[in-house]
Structure formats: structure tokens, C-alpha cells
Chain A
Amino acid sequence: MQELGFFTILFSAVFTNNILLTNYLGMCSFLAVSREVKASLGLGTAVFFVTAATTALNWVVYYRILVPLDLVYLRFIVFIVVIAAFVQLVEMIIERVSETLYQALGIFLPLITVNCAILGACLFMVIRDYTFGQACAYGLGAGLGWALAIMAMAGIRQRLSLRSRIPRGLEGPGIALIIAGTMALAFMGFNGMVSLN
């Protein structure tokens, strides 16, 4: 694999290879929470923070502990435990440090442990053989891309709920999927700029 720079990976993870719109990861919470901009801003921030941190953390765990001990096949369990432990830790720290931040992010943190986007980012990082710097860039980009997508989606859905006539069968998840498809089409327009694969 050729060497990719920090910003190339960051940029392509946000735009051309958006983890939500091209890999369908994190769809469950994406469809459930994207009704209001405020809630999705909270969830987006939390996912961004946890993805960026755990991708770096899991890189260290994978290459410094699992590979030397030849325990690579245990990576699913180890990754998910690292993510769960990290989320728990963040929850405790936020609770102590800032009451307002806890009010804003607190309810989203337990949801995050089973968010596919975070585990997905960790697994992609391993499969693509990233170095530590590249893994950090990818984690940041994937989290940012997910947050961007859910906020854009919430903005569109909020406006849509004000004045628009949607066929009854399409209300709720149906129209959300169509919007997501259209957004994915729009993001494909970035394809020529940088490419990961």
C-alpha cells in the first residue's frame, strides 16, 4: 500500500469514503436520532470523540499486545471491550467535570458502545494496515464524517417535517432512507478529489 498522508486520509474519510454513506455503518442510531438537529449534534459529538480516541487506542492494543502475543483472532472481543471501557470512563469523567456537558451527552454515551461505526472504523484501520499516524487520521475523519452526515440529515428532516406532503407509507424511516440515498449520491461527487482504495 502506498503511503498516504495524514490529510489525505482525513479528508477522504470525511468526504469520499464517508463511513455512513458509503459503508452503511451506524445506521441504527442514524435513523433513530436524526429527527432534531440538537439531539444529533450531541450524538455526533459523542461519536466523533469516541471514534477518534478508540481508533488510536485500538491501534496500540492491536499492534503492541495482540500481534506480539499471536492473539489476532481475539480482536473482535478486545476491540469491543476497549470501546465499552472507554465509553464508561468518558461517562464518569464527564459526570465529574461538567454537569452541563453530561446533560447534553450523557444519554447518548451508552448507545455508543453498540454503534457499528466505531467498531467499523477500528476494523477498517486493521484491514488497511494503517500506521499509527494514519490510524489517528482515519479515526478523526470517520468520526467527523459520521457527525457531519447525521447533522445534515437532521437539518433536512426538520425542515421536511414543517411543510411537505410525504406519501403515508414513506413517513419515518422510508423517507429518511431516500434522503440518505440522495446524500450518498451528492457525496459521490467528491470521488474524483481523493481516493482511499
Chain B
Amino acid sequence: MTATKNWKLFKDNLGPQNPIFVQVLGICSTLAVTNVVKNTLVMCLGLIFTTALSNLALSLIRNSIPPRVRMMVEVLVIACMVIVVDIYLKAFYPDISRQLGPYVGLIITNCIVMGHTEAVALTSPPLPALVDGFSAGVGYSYVLLLIACCRELLGTGAVWGVQVLGPHWVNWSIMVMAPGGFFVLAVFVWIVKGWGERPAQKAQA
């Protein structure tokens, strides 16, 4: 019984409850690195690690957190997870760590991580909290990876550093610069919203 419940939680976070499309939350730190697919993947893995484990940790200690300082406790736990990610990247992937610069640290202030610890970890037992954190991270990551693919493909004609489009391709250099990220995300939100609305309109007619 609990297994199906957890599975439902997992699916909800990937589809209908996906925070990027519903409220466009939490894009702050990660959208900035979506001009290269590889960096995006590293960021997303860091984010999944952080959401999953901080949810688990906070759920384990949820009964001993005084409600008045709960925000501070949440931020501190999240910051610890992010430090682990940061040190790991620095030790094993120094190049990527340098390219990501401050953005790894900014996972701390990502609204998605905070939102899930606040809404789920403080009210539910460890296992569902872990599942929720993990799936929230995955649901968030696949959207950003899609955006990164679009931007890198249109901006440099390559995906994962491998040239895909032929030499006749003219790079849309705007795509790898800041405005491109805004436009691609807007188009994604548009497509998803339009899609979600169609069945509702049919039901009305």
C-alpha cells in the first residue's frame, strides 16, 4: 500500500505538480548554467542530491525542531548538503566546479529545496520524504536538461560538446546568452500550459 502511495508521489512530482510549470519556481540558480548541457547535468545531480537528502535528514529530526526556528534549521541542513556537493566537485571535477562558479552555492536559496522541506519533510515520515525530495529533483532536472539541449543546440549547433548540425548551420548566439534562457523557458511554459488547457476546454464545450 505504501509502495503505491510513494509511486504516486513520485509521478505527481514529475508531471502535474512539477513546480517549474505550475508556478515557475526555483529556476534562479540553475537556469544560469543551461547554456551548456554538461554543466546543467552536474547542477541537476547536485540539486537532486540536496533535495533528497535534506528532506530525509529534516524528516528524521522533525519532531525535535522548535517551530519558531524551523526556517533556520532547514537552511542550515540544506547548506550542509550543498557544501558536500561543492567540496566533491572541487575535488573530482575542478574544471566544472570553476565553470559553475557561485551557482553551486546558490542551490541553498533555490525555492524548490526550501519548498519541499517546508511542505513535506516537516510533516511526513522519512521514506515518503526521501521519495518526494528525489522526485522533485528529477522532475525539475528533466525540464532544465530539455532547456539546456535547446539552448546548446541552437546556440552552438552541438549537444554535449559534440557537433550535431552541419557546417552550414549559423549559430544563434543569442541562445547561449542571457535573453535566450528567458525565451526558451517562456516557450516551454507556453507549450505545457496550452497542452494542459485543451482537455479542460473540451469538457466545457
Chain A residues with a Cβ under 8 A of chain B: 21-28, 31, 73-77, 80-81, 84, 113-116, 119-120, 123-124, 126-127, 167-170, 173-175, 177-178, 180-182, 184-185, 188
Contacts and interface: CB of A to CB of B under 8 A. Distances in A.
B24 A77 contact: no
Contact of A127 (B23, B102, B193, B194): B102
Nearest to B34: A24
Interface stretch (B25-33, B55-63, B128-136): B25-33
Contact of B79 (A77, A124, A127): A77
Nearest to B183: A181
B44 to A, nearest CB: 15
Contact of B182 (A77, A80, A178): A178
Interface string B66-104: 000001100110011011001100000000000001100
Contacts, number: 126
Main secondary structure of the interface of A (DSSP, over half): helix
Contact of B194 (A21, A123, A169, A182): A169
A196 B133 CA distance: 38
Interface residues of B, number: 44
A124 B29 CA distance: 13
Given A26-B28, A114-B109, A114-B114, A177 B193 contact: no
A98 to B, nearest CB: 25
A27 B102 contact: no
B125 interface: no
Interface string B161-188: 0000000000000100111111101100
A175 B76 CA distance: 35
Contacts of B86: 73, 76
B73 to A, nearest CB: 12
B178 to A, nearest CB: 5
A84 B111 contact: no
Given A120-B102, A180-B182, A182-B179, A174 B111 contact: no
A185 B178 CA distance: 8
B121 interface: no
